[in-house]
Structure 1
């Protein structure tokens, strides 16, 4: 899951929106405030669950030119694409309302964010591009952004070359995975609340 999905999870778990994005940014976990740490941990749990899910394993094994070992990176981005396509099924408010709320919540904690996340939040303040993650152009831009800053980024070019097919391949895995992920997150939050109440 990528930015949009983690923000959705933050909204339904009532945890820090910035915290839920921190897993994608370099941070010193020992310095995080408790609310940010909860979000960071939730992000890690989500990533592990998604990676191990049968739907993810199936997606990574599909025939394509791009290497299987890098397919998970692209999967995260195209899962956001499909969450936006199916927003009426999974969202509790209209898409535009959610995207505006996401920016407001991120801005609240901008000053507690690492520099690269601060810059991302600032770009969202200037132009809320979250809905664009549900377009082919938005997916392409997100992959290109990773390619520019990652030393092995050139390996993602094969996925870009076949992007419409890659997106289509991800629809069924998304629909199999995301309801399970939401159930998992709800269960984990209940466990955390139970542990906190006992403590």
Structure 2
């Protein structure tokens, strides 16, 4: 999952929301000096990623991609699922997407001192591009995919994947619709030390 999903799934606690965003920018054990809520948010981010990577609906979505795109399906799906979440945000959250996006950027601004340098640069990119709300726009998603592709060392098709994703919109939407409510229940049930079910999708926590 990508930044919008992680922020939403973190719940109402600002520390966990911040940690949910920082999860992509912190390697190894989080600094013990970080507030407890932020460290919990980083741990939740990692739990969400692990649950997502094993989930049958996500595995089925990845299988829809043909070579050479399948190798990069994980990255593309992270971005596309944020796109699906953003374009139908009212279905998944009581907060309007523009307000949620603005509040998230404001949280990052207020907590600038806690951000690693890479996260600080990304926060500036978010402000400049109206993210994460703008992930609802295909053109913004296209630029984001191309940017990720340019940062990877090897040649890759990420900059050409938007038409592929758009062509598969209906089956990917169906997989997302089946998967995301289970992920929401997983995140809601999560706490430090929480053990996920062995077979995601069959027994959803709290379900």
* TM range, smaller chain: 0.7 to 0.9
- Corresponding position: 1:31 with 2:31: yes
Pick the structure with more helix per residue.
1
Counterpart residue number, 1:196: none
SS of the residue corresponding to residue 17 of structure 2 reads: coil
Residues 28 and 111 of structure 1, relative CA distance in 2, 3 Å threshold: farther
Q: Which residue of 2 aligns with 1:136?
A: 138
* Alignment coverage as a number of residue pairs: 192
TM-score under structure 1 normalisation? 0.85
| Contact preservation (8 Å) 1:96, 1:131 | yes
State the alpha-carbon separation in 1 of the partners of residues 183 and 13 from structure 2. Answer: 12
- SS of the counterpart of 1:47? helix
Q: Write the mapping of 1:1-199 to structure 2, written as runs, cut at 5 A.
A: 1-12=1-12, 15-32=15-32, 33=34, 34-152=36-154, 154-157=156-159, 159-189=161-191
Cα displacement (A) at 1:14: 5.2
Cα deviation code 1:175-194 (max 9, x no counterpart) = 111100000111113976xx
Change (3 A) 1:138 1:166: farther
1:191/1:154 CA distance change after superposition, 3 Å: closer
Q: State the distance in 1 between where 2:116 and 2:163 align.
A: 33
- The alignment partner of 2:130 has SS state of coil
Query: Does the Cα contact within 8 Å between 2:76 and 2:145 map onto a contact in 1?
Result: yes
Provide structure 1 residue ranges, at least 5 long, that are not aligned to the other structure. Answer: 193-199
TM-score (norm 2): 0.82
Q: CA deviation at 1:166?
A: 4.1
CA distance in 2, matches of 1:189, 1:14: 16
The superposition leaves residues 111-169 of structure 1 with CA deviations (integer Å, 9 ceiling, x where unpaired) of 21111110111233345232210121121112111111111352434524524214444
Q: Residues 125 and 67 from structure 1, CA distance in 2 versus in 1: closer, same or farther, beyond 3 angstroms?
A: closer
Q: How far off is 1:58 after superposition? A: 0.5
SS of equivalent residue, structure 2 residue 156: helix
Cα distance in 2 for residues equivalent to 1:56 and 1:162 = 17
Structure 1: which 4+ aligned runs deviate by more than 6 Å? none
Q: What per-residue deviation string (whole Å, max 9, x for no partner) do you get for residues 10-31 of structure 1?
A: 2446543221122212445242
